[in-house]
Amino acid sequence: MKDRPINRPSLDELVKGIDQSNRMMLSRAITIIESKLASDQELGAQLLDEIIPKTGKSIRIGITGVPGVGKSTFIEAFGTYLTTIGKKVTVLTIDPSSTMTKGSILGDKTRMNELSKNPNAFIRPSPSGSSLGGVAQKTRETILLCEAAGYDVIIVETVGVGQSETAVKGMVDFFLLLMLAGGGDELQGIKRGIMEMADALVINKAEGDNIKPSKTAKKDYQNALHLLPAHAGDWTVPVGLCSALEKTGIEEVWNTVMDYQKVTTENGYFQSNRQQQNLKWMHEVIKFQLEQSFYQDPKKKELVRNLEERVAAGELSVRHAVQKLFT
Ligand code: GDP
């Protein structure tokens, strides 16, 4: 491996480090997974092969909600609570803005100050990438690494604005939607499609004067949920209340996750959902690889350029042009 950066650990060191739950080694392994270098990609693939038998034992929780709803405050409280009951927690983020700009609105470590200092918590900001698909792919692999390193709750946070929810839904067991009282769905920018993905809704900031409106909102959301298609896992989507700031209702959220895991494990949905997610992931990677190898072929590139001109000039139909590329 000629182009391997000199400071890269060996496969053995990585496997051993992850096995020992060494955070520095886990971080370095994630960096390798995220890297575009060919040698890193090879090392990353070998590493994943080695650790795959040790994966899958965590519960993977997606958390979303519009900016300002209190996601990071909630994760700080929830994650800290989980560590007090003996869990090791990872917080990953998928930030759609990281694919557009270098900066990101979510992946800022300082947002979870207390948790980031907790020895039983591991926080990793969103990887940057040219596409949401690429970012999601790296996050899925990071989940596996964290599981192999012994983390039993994996939280994947994203912002409630659309596409990234679908990506996160496709990699977690349980999807939590944080909401606020007061202000209809439209006001909160939450689309019906995101509500349909949720396994639980929790209304945050339910404290003090806000308790009454929160209880009203809870009823409204319960009614709204009745109008949505039934959950595929034979699960009734609950609506809870919490205050991330005052740390109330946090344990109840965890109990809901545990109930969900029990119900859906018993009826088989939990396992079948993971299987479906894996198969879908595999096909996404196949498509990605096909696209890459197609556009990287210099002959095809040249031909595409030619055909583009003819299509633009109206000499050739798109269907005919594409046919020429595959014959
Ligand atoms: P995010 O953008 O969804 O990650 O939201 P943040 O966690 O950054 O919270 C946005 C603002 O809401 C911050 O000023 C928080 O202190 C505040 N906040 C978060 N949770 C609560 C809560 O339970 N009650 C109250 N009153 N404020 C909260």
Ligand 1 centroid distance, CA of 113 (Å) = 14
**CB-based pocket (< 6 A), ligand 1:** 65, 67-73, 204-205, 207, 243-245
In degrees and rounded to multiples of 5, residue 241 shows phi and psi of -125, 145
Highest mean pLDDT among 95-99, 180-184, 201-205, 282-286: 201-205
Candidate from 245, 246, 247 with most ligand 1 atoms within 8 A of CB, to mutate: 245
pLDDT (0 to 100) of residue 109: 45
Q: How far is CA 10 from CA 40, 44, 135, 205, in A?
A: 11, 11, 25, 47
Q: What percent of the chain has pLDDT over 70?
A: 90
Ligand 1 atom nearest the C-alpha of 106 is 4
In this predicted structure, what is the pLDDT of residue 87?
A: 98
For ligand 1, the distance from its centroid to the CA atom of residue 142, given in whole angstroms, is 27
Q: Which residue has the tokens 């990585």?
A: 14
Distance between Cα 170 and ligand 1 center (Å): 26
Q: Which residue has the higher pLDDT, 194 or 270?
A: 270
Residue 198 to residue 61: CA distance in whole angstroms: 11
243 C-alpha to center of ligand 1: Å?
A: 9
* CA of residue 161 to ligand 1 center, whole Å: 17
User: Which pLDDT belongs to residue 224?
Assistant: 87
- Chain segment 206-241, per-residue pLDDT in tens: 999 999 999 999 998 998 898 888 999 999 999 999
**Which atom of ligand 1 has the smallest separation from the CA of 208?**
26
Query: Higher confidence at residue 27 or residue 6?
Result: 27
Q: What percent of the chain has pLDDT over 90?
A: 67
Sign of the four-CA dihedral 97, 101, 104, 107: positive
For 82-111, the pLDDT digits (tens) are 999 999 999 998 876 655 544 455 544 457
Q: How far apart are CA 82 and CA 75, in angstroms?
A: 10
Distance CA 326, CA 187 (A): 48
Q: Which atom of ligand 1 is nearest to the CA of 67?
A: 2
pLDDT digits (tens, 9 = 90+) for 266-286: 999 999 999 999 999 999 889
Residue 190's pLDDT is 63
Domains of the chain: 1-53 (1.20.5.170), 55-267 (3.40.50.300), 280-325 (no CATH)
Q: Is the pLDDT of residue 175 over 80?
A: yes
Residue 238: φ, ψ to 5°: -90, 160
**What mean pLDDT value characterizes the chain?**
89
Shortest-distance Cα residue to atom 7 of ligand 1:
70
- Tell me the CA–centroid distance for residue 143 and ligand 1, in Å: 26
Q: What is the pLDDT of residue 278?
A: 94
Any idea which of 29-33, 185-189, 247-251 has the lowest mean pLDDT?
Answer: 185-189
User: How many residues in total does the chain contain?
Assistant: 327
* pTM for the model: 0.89
Cβ neighbours for 75, distance < 8 A, ≥ 6 positions apart:
63, 91, 112, 115, 155, 157
Nearest to 156 by CA among 141, 145, 172: 172
Q: Which of 66, 71, 73, 214 to mutate to test the pocket of ligand 1 (most atoms within 8 A of CB)?
A: 73
